[in-house]
Amino acid sequence: MSKFDRIKRLFDVPYFQLEEYPQEAALVSKVNGKWIKTSTQEYINQANQMSRGLIELGVKPGDKIAVISNNRTEWNIIDIGILQIGAANVPVYPTITAEDYAYIFNDAGVKFCFTSSKDLYDKAASIIDKVPTLEKIFTIENIPGTSSWKEVLDLGKDETHQAEVDKRKKNISELDLATLIYTSGTTGKPKGVMLSHRNLVENAKGSRPRLPVGKDNVALSFLPLCHVYERMLIYMYQMAGIQIYYAESIEALVDNIKECKPHVFSAVPRLLEKVHDGIMTKGLAAGGAKAAIFKWAMGLTESYQYGKHPSIQRKIADKLVYSKVREKLGGRIQAIASGGAALQPRLARFFNAIGVPVFEGYGLSETSPVIAVNSPVTGVKFGTVGKKLDNVELKIAEDGEILTKGPCLMMGYYKREDLTKEVIDEQGWFHTGDIGEIDSEGFLKITDRKKEMFKTSGGKYVAPQVVENKIKESPFIEQIIVIGEARKHPSALIVPSFDHLKLWAEQNGIEYKSLDDLVKNKAVISKIMDEIDKYNVNFGKWEQVKKFRLLPKEWTVESGELTPTLKLKRKVIHLNYQDIIEDLYK
């Protein structure tokens, strides 16, 4: 019997930490330029205070409470406060529209809402008249004219309701609904994924043995807590006695890494691409002998094999170059968990080669989320998402679709039994919508999204994600979407890596006044065509990108072209660039 067996419900996690690994800095956030630490005991005390305050407000088991906030200590206190009285936490992405807020709040029947900043309060307040169930909005930051979350804590100072809190805790089953997570959705309205306490607890337990860090180590958290991936990791970190530091923002990330020197954090491939490009651009810009040594050292990363004893050359490169890069990333990183989208094997190889271990995993909101993950414990193979968790079942259907079941599989979609039946078959297998294969050693490889494959006018199937991920290995290409449904050949819309392209343009005497000028330059277009041709050789003639158009600005969450987890919204991009796409096929 494992000591982790004592954890059945999510609110058991901080109490487990108090018994096994009490921390002086369980949760740490930056306030007015200073890192403020909250101990495990203080965390529990404030969560109980929150629970008592919510009971005073009339919150009943089964009620839904929305949380719209950046990552911060208060998020966890509110979360546990909600969960241990039998209510459900409905975390909402800060970046989505007010219309999306209204849809989610009405679908879930949200009773109360907690927001952090004035912008988020204003957005939530703008839809209060459209949500009949919504009684009040509280703000975490001190915003004049709003109700502060401290009002709820103040209501809970009186310990009269603690007996009721304890009673409710005892009555909560691990199979009860803990959270409703609305999928960001690349198409259509978001669906409410119902996750029980057991779903998330079992995923945290199943993932824990793959984590090469533990008690008193430091995790930095910056991916949104409203996303199931980061949220599950936060519970797992607490179970392992890991101190959690919350980054101020993506913009402050580099500074925060230097300050808290994390041993572990999670990232999405898009961020790792930017870190890689930043390292390369800075190293090559040094010029002279320094740039030559840097280029030589980086060239060695291309032949790196995980777990192989380093050569003399690599040891020299480590001393001269890699160690300095690691120092800028805090100097203590033992694991970066990459998820949310496919990671280029080139990037995984690069980071591991320089001594910054990146381990790619795979999962969905519906699976709480981790299905499989690479790990130094169970093995690492670049180009795969690792081996399945021990408590997860996995198989490949006849058409190549990845199927899974087990204790981490969702309860279903909220109020949408029809949609639930579409994805969970009669034998209990969840159909992921991803195509993949399991190799002879048990490593899972994702080859494409079932729904994203398209057929050319010649009747040939193309898996765009495979082509995109290969072409994105070019240092000149930041973002790419491959198109060609019912067309005679695939084409692409491409956002160049402007840092790299500007450096190349400067070295080749290319003048330009704006990014718009740069992407229309004939020499630039020719260079990108050369890059595409280099990667086209990996594909059949019908899969190769024949034409492309360079775009002068990135796709972003704010522009509506990326989901909050930075996946391409293909339909939106197709619509926004309809004229350009038509022009490509004239």
CATH topology of domain 3-260: Rossmann fold (3.40.50)
Amino acid type, 508: N
Pairing of strands 147-148, 136-139: parallel
Q: How far apart are the first and last CA of the chain?
A: 67
β-pairing verdict for 461-462 and 358-363: unpaired
Write down how long the chain is.
Answer: 586
Identify the CATH homologous superfamily for domain 453-584. ANL, C-terminal domain (3.30.300.30)
- The answer to whether the beta carbons of residues 69 and 114 sit under 8 Å apart is yes
* Residues 220/256, Cβ–Cβ less than 8 Å: yes
CATH architecture assigned to 264-331+333-450? 3-Layer(aba) Sandwich (3.40)
What stretches of 157-231 adopt beta strand conformation (E)? 177-182, 192-196, 218-221
pLDDT of residue 184: 64
264-331+333-450 against 453-584: fold identical = no
H or E, element range at 312: helix 312-317
CB 206 within 8 A of CB 389: yes
Partners of 179 in beta bridges: 89, 195
The per-residue pLDDT for 485 is 87
Beta bridge partners of 438: 444
pLDDT for position 348:
95
Please report where in the chains the tokens 């803990």 appear, as a residue. 178
Q: At 485, list the tokens.
A: 């449904």
Extended beta strands in 263-357, E state? 264-267, 335-338
Amino acid in position 503 = L
Report pTM.
0.86
Q: In a 10 Å sphere around its CB, with 0-12 CB exposed, 13-18 middle and 19+ buried, how is residue 33 labelled? A: exposed
Q: Is the dihedral of CA 265, 270, 273, 279 positive or negative?
A: negative
**How many other CB atoms sit within 10 Å of the CB of residue 398?**
5
Please state, in angstroms and rounded to a whole number, the distance separating the CA atoms of residues 80 and 367: 21
Residue type, 530: D
Give the model's pLDDT for residue 586.
Answer: 85
**394: which 2 tokens?**
């996995």
Number of H helices, E strands in the chain: 22, 26
Residue 582: exposure state from Cβ atoms within 10 A (0-12, 13-18, ≥19): exposed
Residues contacting residue 187 through CB under 8 Å, at least 6 positions apart: 569, 571
**Element (DSSP H or E) covering residue 71:** none
Write down the domain spans for the chain: 3-260, 264-331+333-450, 453-584
Residue spans of the chain under pLDDT 50: 186
Instruction: Pull the structure tokens for residue 23.
Output: 């921390």
Segment (H or E) for 321: none
Phi first, then psi: what are they for 561, rounded to 5°? -95, -10
